[in-house]
Amino acid sequence: MITFEVGAIGLILLLAAFTLVDTGRLDRKSWIYQLLNVIGALLLAIYAWELKAFIFVVLEAFWAAIALFELIFNRFKTR
């Protein structure tokens, strides 16, 4: 069984990404931002799956897919 910590780490990564962009420390097109979103959303999707909260699995899977698309096709800008 996936533990609470997996969900907590996913949440921290998503909130960190949001905070860094919102405060101007990262560009929303940066690879770091997208990677934080991919990993955070996947961890939360796994956690939601374990909780059988399937609507949130869909949400987090979509979030991760969009971030992964941006990560792959963004040309890895650095800020």
Residue 30 lies in a domain: yes
pLDDT in tens, the chain (79 residues): 678 999 999 999 999 999 999 999 999 889 999 999 999 999 999 999 999 999 999 999 999 999 999 988 876 555 4
Domain count, the chain: 1
Which pair of structure tokens corresponds to residue 50?
């374990």
Residue 36 lies in a domain: yes
Q: Does the model's pTM come out above 0.85? A: yes
If DSSP states are collapsed to H, E and C, what string results for the chain?
CCCHHHHHHHHHHHHHHHHHHHCCCCCCCCHHHHHHHHHHHHHHHHHHHHCCCHHHHHHHHHHHHHHHHHHHHCCCCCC
Is position 53 within any domain?
yes
Domain, as residue range, for 11: 4-73
Domain assignment of residue 78, yes or no: no
